[in-house]
Amino acid sequence: MNKVTVLGSLNVDTTFRIKDFPQAGETVQVKSKSNAAGGKGANQAVAAAREGAQTSFIGQIGNDGAGQFMLDSLKADKIDSTFVSENESVGTGTANIMLDDNGQNCILVYGGANQTLTAEEVQKAEPTIKNSDFVVAQFETPQDAAIAAFKIAKQNGVTTVLNPAPAPSNGIKPELLKLTDIIVPNELESASITGIKITDQVSMTATAKKFADLGVANLIITIGDKGAFYSTPDKAEMLPAYKVKAVDTTAAGDTFIGAFVSQVAPDFSNIVSAVKFAQHASSLTVQRLGAQPSIPTLDEVLKVEKESAS
């Protein structure tokens, strides 16, 4: 069983189902509205926990009902929330999600307490980080917090996983990249960071070289319904996606990352099987509504893997 610590965001998601995305100045009718626990960090932690990893979380909430709701959601999945701190002056993060009839989404995120998480708060979690196999971070919390976590991880032989989402407008701090063992962007985030548009195998290979030059030796690019490209110093390959009818893609990428770290070895020796497992997990997620409610369990993923192999 992998031990995974996730540093990241805690958001209460409000999803609005609509026929089509509005144009500028247009008012559209909402078909339905629902609330669920979310945030990229929390989603990834839930995915890791449901796929069998012993999971801990580092983050921050506000002193409000939304914060308690998020704590309860972590505990429901047996995620250790010891190092989720509370900000007395800033509210818990929220996300408003527009979901169209094709299963595509647009998301408006209010960072709230996620954005006030400090390196000092992260350092309090050193005992948990040291005892982990993997530490995962994204960009809905400050980069300085991720740097603090990754420094502790690297000093203790813990593998670091960076999901550069959402892609930061002011770029990624070079120090963070040098502390990263594997980076997992989607194709748009990858292009934003490297300047290389993902179009074919040549562009993927060039992207892997660019990240290696920046200090990250291992890469996975998720490319929606086309699949995922992975690259290590030893091998690289495009793995096609499993074809399903998507109804909501909200937590697909987060499910992929959480499922991946629940299965992969710290030296990435089983990266192919771990990526395929993560693809099966995310293929289940996109067939369901909501963020965390859509994330499958280990038994569900294993069942789909068995069916796919037969």
What are the binding residues for K(+)?
248, 250, 285, 288, 290, 294
Identify the residue whose tokens are 């449901």.
50
The phi and psi torsions of 150 (rounded to 5 degrees) equal -70, -30
Alpha-carbon distances, residue 134 vs 26, 27, 59, 116, 278 (angstroms): 45, 45, 16, 24, 16
Binding-site residue ranges for ATP: 186, 222-227, 253-254
Binding-site residue ranges for substrate: 11-13, 39-43, 140, 254
Q: Which residues does residue 61 pair with via DSSP β-bridges, in sequence order?
A: 86
> 10 Å Cβ neighbour count for 227?
17
Task: Give dist(CA 306, CA 310) in Å, integer.
Answer: 6
The phi and psi torsions of 66 (rounded to 5 degrees) equal -65, -40
Catalytic residue among 64, 144, 254, 267: 254
Residue 254 is a catalytic residue: yes
Rg (the chain; Cα; Å): 18
Active site residues per annotation = 254
